[in-house]
Structure 1
């Protein structure tokens, strides 16, 4: 890259970088920094430059950006070397400087978290509290600040408890799926749906009977359904049916019903059906219609306690392809999941570390089991039977793994046409650049 320095002193690129850092620290010491913003240029070679950008300039045949540094000098950067441009408060730059230089101790992260609170940086404060929990999983203050409570000896959030009990968040409160249906419908709609449930139940009984003519009649009746008020009955009676043929029939029937009512059951099939062919067919049915109202179901699934569901939600959002989901996908790039594992109760020789990995002293998980947990193949946990000790006492432990979600990354890459890997910070910087309201036009090449 060709840097043009306009300054009373001739500086090398290394000196410029050092000067930028020093000047940043000096400016950030100003109490008014929370009201001041700075521009950030992300370079394609990985570097970052901070300061204030002057109006768009064209030098010769090349487009350039001129950054006035915090020291009063300026740098010219060819546009071809710029990944993107964004604008952020200086106080956030100060946080990033502090976070990179502090000791990795509970005391240091707690002190920085308190600084974040004083400067109204809630998200950054939560990041520091997460670091404290990484170092000390039982740190009561950090747990409480992130909404955890201790239940049966384990830390858990209220959201996790309620979701685990089958409740859904609706307008700020938790309701059951049945209650949600009632809240979203009036009595007239419910009456129409009840009438359809009776019919569908009868036709399903015909298809499962021994009378061939009635089997065919029941199948024809279900295949001919086109009334949106039949969707609730179809989903309730066929969505969890043990027969793959019946669930496949559900997908084809929902496909021919117009409107938004089929969106929820189709999304649920995409996320939870054990058969891949049915999940694929349901996703195809969604993408053949306006599925923007189904986005909410997939976004909710990005927070599911099962990593398998999270990955499927990513694939669903990729297929829908709406750019509004980018921030949610960024948040789900790396997710933590807890697994319940039954292991031999040999406490004197068995250990597992605070980061969720197992120690190498005494009994350890078999490599294929641990690999399966990492891959999210055991959402309900596993039981490790002891070899040659059939009567040994067993115990249950909770193991936490952080998953880099490939399906989420693929969705981000397809929707955004960008690739910052699993670096959540760079993704957020880029997204901020696309939402910039300062008049700076982001360069995305």
Structure 2
């Protein structure tokens, strides 16, 4: 008996041999990959496959994942006898083998064999070539893997990319891992701080010192989360961290100058209920991130979906930044805004009566919800307009404000033409 200790990978039954002695052979599928066809017998812990009268191969039972009995391949063998040397017939049989349930066990080996046979019979069989991973380049068939590698690309994350992009993705992955580590580390330090500066809390001073010394921009996401979750707006009704710790978060966010830190400060500049912390966040944005802040606040101010309160908060935030006269006309549009609200129907039950019969028609529970539109003056917007155009004051009269600015522009244009 010949024993093979290396992994063996043989093609499935050759169509031409199906009429021979191997027609009634079993198929042995090996763990990991590989398939062997022959007469199967078991001896103790060994699985013995008889390739022919002279060659037998023995495998430990642990190497065998499945034995497909010959009768399970009856349908496949019947179809395989019919394909002959027809390339397209082999391609169609390969597709049949690939369909779930048609071939038991590792059907990919049967599929690949017939795809390869189709290409042998017709080297330009495009569908079979594509199934085997080939593509056409300058009129020649080439494995896509070889083509992409020849172009200096590497396969990563299920797609082909240039090495530089792969390195960048690895860097981003590493950054994300570091950011997650900071989330856990800062949470531990905050837990110590929240126990208070008491004699039994010996790590309090060290925790405060460690938090103050953070200078890694990758910690910005963790600190932004801490700051946002500590706010009264986080759904807890009151601040969950002492003001001193929340001030530290703002200081650190201002120091990092990252997208994450700017986003957190912009949100605080309009949503933070503590006026001191809100002004502190806006002061940080004056140093870095003012363009992002102004763009966000202006969009909120002008949005038809913003509530009266939100419009005034956006205007209040914009007051922290230098006046820009070019934006005055846009601000004027929000001096007086219209807001719609629904009033729920009353719970009164009303009787209705039928027509010709004169009987009771039924009961109704009142009318549909009523929509009411109200115009609201926005005092913070007026302050913003007056800061932008300090020499005038027309209150909430948008028409007068627009006429004034239009006349200013016309006057300026006329002076410019005379100078020319």
Which has more radius of gyration? 2
- Sort the TM-score into its range (normalised by shorter chain): 0.3 to 0.5
TM-score (ref. length: structure 1) = 0.41
Question: Which of structures 1 and 2 has the larger relative contact order (alpha carbons within 8 angstroms, sep 6+)?
Answer: 1
